[in-house]
Chain A
Amino acid sequence: MQKTLENIFSTSSETFKAYRLLTPSILLLIIVFAFPILFLITYSFWTQDYVTIDTTLTLENYKTVINKSSYHILIKRSLTISSLTTIVTVLLAYPMAYFVAFVVKERKLLWLIILTIPFWTSYLLRVFAWKLILGYNGVINGSLSNLGIIESPLSFLLYNPFAVFVTLAHAWSAFAILPIYVSLEKIDRSLLEAAADLGDNAFKRFCRITFPLSFPGVLAASLIIFIPTTGDYITPKLVGGSEGIMVANLIQIMFGKANNWPLGSSIAVITMIIVTLSVILFVLISRWLVSKIK
């Protein structure tokens, strides 16, 4: 015991050396991450009183959020849009990642670069590009009416949850490819050959080997998309119209126009909890599913 403690505190011990390297990052995280989140949580128990903040601790904001169905609808809407985006994006990205990993034989890096180039321009402008496409005199309406298919422009293309979904799916698809590709690339090809030798057809090989082994990548891709899209602000703001407004817009309104930071904080905290719970639930369910498949 004495020995171990000595080991830990001696300047030559691995622990000391490791923590010496880690200290700057841990300090940064405490100041720029842990403190802000703690402050956010504290704020959520305070209340706004016109231009001042009442610092008596209370559950008032949480009661407001829990009792007001408007907030529930907005949170549900955000989760629906982001889940749908996640599922569709991952489904679309998987064959592409598979293609690069298994069909492309050389210059794989080049393929990956080609896949990411469209994402090297501003996110805002990528979102805005969909306004050009879906707009009243945009590409789709312009083309259709030029071809004589429609007489007056279709107005249902823009300013709705569907526009948000399409835009998000486009904006995030490259981010889904990379983790899936990495996990596919790691698969030991001899496993597949062995399975083929044992008489498994391509479909069986995919179900029994490729998919389960690439699953960590699918999981990572899903989380990489689900978390930020739930909290996306720009896309609903630019292409969402009224029905596409999501929870991040609500939080921003509370911190801006509605001037109610404590209520905004509690909505943020609730969103944070819901996102975390969804992620845990999602991971558990998918692990269970994979074990079933295996």
Chain B
Amino acid sequence: MKIIRDIFISILFLTGFSVKAEEAHLYTWVDQDDVPFIQYYIDKYGAEPKTSVFEDEDEAFAKLRAGYSADVYGPCSYEIPRWRDAGLIQPIDVSKLEHWEKIPDSLRNMPGVYDDKGQVWFIPHLFGNTSVIVNTKLAPEYAGDNNSWDILWDPKYKGRIGVLAGAVDTIPLVAAHIGVNAYNMTDDEWEQVKVKLRELVVQARLITNVTGELESAMAQGEVVAVEAWNDSYNNLIWDEEFTDPVEYMQPKNQKIFSWVCGFALSSVAGKEAPIEKAYALIDSGLSVGAAQFLIEDWGYAPANADGFGVASEEALELIIVDTSDVDAWLANTIFQEVMPNLDKIVEEWELIRAGVD
């Protein structure tokens, strides 16, 4: 009975029948599974680690709570408290990491790395910024010293503004703009922020978590300014089809935001693959090769400061970080943290976004 045999084979095929040595599994942001980020691991074990990717951390969090798991996760620092509280991750033994000492102090001591008991839960991998990119040909009055987030609410540019949909980016930025600390705000302050958010939604042409959409809208002149991460700025500079001058805003009297993404160790790490392999995965991301790739291909700053020494001049020029003193530079920005009551805030922001609150 050929049919029965075929069905049987197909079932094996469907269930992913396989017998290979267990490699550590990295679950991270899409594209952060590129080869340079896992090369160190490949060199060490002669095999590729398993990788899978998420498009945003909320999706990842939902999936992990739904029973999905890997050995190492790639969230950003502000996610750590809730992942820890949900029992998804375990403390990390930094003595097992080859590159831990390469990370600048300011990053090693940032919120999210250590808990109250001195245990490490998060290893920084890269950092970037959140501010506003402006097309200074279309909006010359905001160039240079006149950089200001005011442009997001400027009636002149109504319908020509792009905004990040992520609550972790947009809400602290809007709050900071009216002098409110989103990581410690009263209900009254939150109401004030909400007023500004509603105005912003009316101003915005698009609100999206797809940074490529923001870049493409900038490149086509659809929008004049976008709230964005610094890699979008690099991408616009690198874009051969787009020649308008753009600036990544660093307004006077206004610190811009820094976010740090990195690695967390799964609470199930060590069960399927040896835990050493999980640590090797983290080390892969921290390697100098990965750091160089981050700077040159992504425009992000690596946590391993040695990367600045090997990256090309032109790539370094585009990095807005002052590489001569990373600690001092970071100290002049605001680290993104987790907002208390995040779920509630996210829900309200989504309703404001939908124009129904």
Q: Collect the chain A residues with CB atoms within 8 Å of residue B56's CB.
A: 257
Q: Does B310 contact A (CB under 8 A)?
A: no
Q: Mark B57-94, 1 if CB is under 8 A from A, else 0.
A: 01101100100000000000000001001110000000
Chain B interface, number of residues (Cβ within 8 angstroms): 31
A268 contacts the other chain (CB 8 A): no
Whether A242 pairs with B207 at a CB distance below 8 angstroms is yes
Q: A48: which B residues are within 8 A, CB to CB?
A: 343
* Interface-side segment among A26-34, A178-186, A191-199, A248-256: A248-256
Interface string of B343-357 (1 = CB under 8 A from A): 100110011011111
Task: Provide the residues of chain A in CB contact with B356, threshold 8 Å.
Answer: 69-71, 73-74, 77, 245
At the interface, yes or no: A241 with Cβ under 8 Å from chain B? Answer: yes
19 interchain pairs, CB-CB under 8 A = A51-B87, A70-B351, A70-B354, A70-B357, A74-B356, A77-B356, A155-B159, A155-B222, A242-B353, A242-B355, A243-B354, A253-B347, A253-B350, A255-B62, A256-B62, A257-B346, A259-B62, A259-B343, A259-B346
Flag whether B25 is at the interface (Cβ < 8 A).
Answer: no
Interface stretch among B27-35, B99-107, B198-206, B264-272?
Answer: B198-206
Does A260 count as interface, using CB distance less than 8 angstroms? yes
Whether, in the assembled complex, A120 has its beta carbon less than 8 Å from a beta carbon of chain B, the answer is no
Contact residues in B for A253 (Cβ distance below 8 Å) = 346-347, 350
**Distance of A253 Cα from B221 Cα, bound (Å):** 30
Determine if A51 and B82 form an interchain contact, defined as CB atoms under 8 angstroms apart. Answer: yes
Contact indicator A258/B355 (Cβ below 8 Å): no
Answer whether residue A137 sits at the interface, using C-beta atoms and an 8 A cutoff: yes
Q: Which residue of chain B is the closest to A245 with respect to CB atoms? A: B354
Q: Are B355 and A243 in contact (CB under 8 A)?
A: yes
Determine whether the beta carbon of B347 is less than 8 Å from that of A136.
no
Q: Which of B311-357 contact A (CB under 8 A)?
A: 343, 346-347, 350-351, 353-357
A241 to B343, CA, bound (A): 22
Q: Which residues of A contact B61 (CB under 8 A)?
A: 259
Known: A70-B351, A73-B356, A258-B343. Contact between A242 and B220, CB under 8 A?
A: no
CB-CB under 8 A from A243, the residues of chain B are 354-355
Once bound together, how far apart are the Cα atoms of A218 and B105, in whole Å? Answer: 69
Distance from B111 Cβ to chain A, minimum over Cβ atoms (Å): 19
CB distance from A243 to the nearest CB of B (A): 5
Whether B217 sits at the interface, judged by CB under 8 Å, is: yes
Establish whether residues A136 and B343, one from each chain, have CB atoms under 8 Å apart when the complex forms: no
Question: Which one of B65, B86, B205, B354 contacts A74 once the chains associate, using CB atoms below 8 Å?
Answer: B354
Q: How far is the CB of A145 from chain B (nearest CB, A)?
A: 12
**Cβ contact within 8 Å between A258 and B346:** yes
Question: Which of A137, A159, A258 is the one whose CB lies under 8 Å from B220?
Answer: A137
Does B167 count as interface, using CB distance less than 8 angstroms? yes
Query: Would you call B350 and A257 a contact (CB within 8 A)?
Result: yes
Q: Which residues between 143 and 169 of chain B lie within 8 Å of chain A, taking CB atoms?
A: 159, 167
> In the complex the two chains form, what is the Cα distance from A81 to B355 in whole Å?
16
List 6 additional A-B contacts (Cβ < 8 Å) besides A159-B206, A257-B346, A260-B343: A70-B351, A242-B354, A255-B62, A258-B346, A258-B347, A259-B61
Q: When chains A and B are docked, how far (Å) is the Cα of A136 from the Cα of B65? A: 39
